[in-house]
Amino acid sequence: MSRVIALLLVLAGTAAAAPGDRVLLADPDPELLHAVEVALAPWKLSVVVDQAPPKDDRIAHERADVTQARFVVWRKGDELVVFDRERDASERRPVRRGKFDAVSAAAAAATVKTMMRLPPPPPEDSGSIGIVTPPPPPPPPPSVPPPGAGGIEVRLEAGIAARIATGDESGTGGRAVFAAMLRPTSAIDLRFGVRADLGATNETVKKGNFEGRWSDWSVVAAASYTLSRGMWELEPWLAGGFTWGSLEGTEQMMSRSESATMFTMRGGTVLRRRYGLLTSGVGVELSGTPGAPNYLRVGGGMGSPDVYQASKFSVVIGGVLAIDLGR
């Protein structure tokens, strides 16, 4: 919210420029500001300064919408980026890092002008020959303060997946997966929260004199980091928590019911495509449960004494849908 208010103040300070005649320069370097103003002067474009560069094209588009700017210009590492709001696309060129001098700033401004693909400048107004008094210099453009620690965001996620597990016998089963992740600040794409999953179907167990089913569900504490490029996001995550499993059935004409609580370690990644507040994508997860129990036959007997070995390692692959609240 503070970012939007600050950009609206910038917009009010440059209200004389028509929509589409603004350039948002997200770089505080004074030499670059002066060089860009000189290079774009024939097109009568108003340059607005923002101290903090956008992280990606999506954020650049949002800032351009707020300030009604046609272009957003910033540096990302050793690249100079120009985002065109009308084309909803950006172009990148190599550029030096650090502070500009007059020569390097002029070269960067010329590159900016080239990437903007501007039409020929309008002809200057012709008038009578005489002494022309130059207009007073414009006041320095207002600056936008860097983003604070606000911008709390909650991501709610649900999906359907297939789990390939190794245990007494390798098998595949359906899983329902859920997550609630909190992003405490907009300054960094770190999220913390919980992830959970449960079996959409129970696993049938038939071995020796035992016949029954195995079911399990898990809750883990998770942390993730999001890498963004345009509308695409890659979110790797790590988690640790507990799995609760139960074995129920009959053995030797008697009912048998056992349960276990197991420590679980997990890690995975989700590839997402953003659609406004919504994202959809595909996730892959690896899960390890070193203390998974091995259930034995009652009273031993001929053959293997094992009834069921719970899975110690599994791979989960599925699709997810999420909504980000508080963006």
What's the total number of domains in the chain? 2
Question: Where in the sequence is the domain holding 38, given as residue range(s)?
Answer: 2-116
Does residue 81 fall inside a structural domain?
yes
Does residue 138 fall inside a structural domain?
no
Whole-number Å distance between alpha carbons of 309 and 166: 9
Output the pTM of the full model: 0.53
Q: Which of 94, 116, 138 is the last residue of a domain?
A: 116
So what's the pLDDT on residue 178? 96
Does residue 136 fall inside a structural domain?
no
So what's the pLDDT on residue 187? 82
So what's the pLDDT on residue 147? 47
Does residue 134 fall inside a structural domain?
no
User: Do residues 22 and 165 share a domain?
Assistant: no
Token pair in block for residue 303 = 């053959």
Does residue 121 fall inside a structural domain?
no
User: Do residues 163 and 311 share a domain?
Assistant: yes
Whole-number Å distance between alpha carbons of 174 and 8: 49
So what's the pLDDT on residue 18? 52
Does residue 300 fall inside a structural domain?
yes
Does residue 61 fall inside a structural domain?
yes
User: Do residues 207 and 284 share a domain?
Assistant: yes
So what's the pLDDT on residue 134? 63
User: Do residues 173 and 110 share a domain?
Assistant: no
Domain of residue 49, CATH code: 3.40.50.800
Given a contact cutoff of 8 angstroms between Cβ atoms, the answer to whether 216 and 199 are in contact is yes
Dihedral angle, C-alpha 114, 115, 120, 126, nearest 10 °: -80
- Please identify every stretch of the chain with a pLDDT value under 50, giving residue numbers as ranges: 1, 4-5, 8-17, 126-132, 145-149, 302
Does residue 205 fall inside a structural domain?
yes
Phi and psi torsions of 200, nearest 5° = -70, -25
Q: Which of 92, 116, 140 is the last residue of a domain?
A: 116
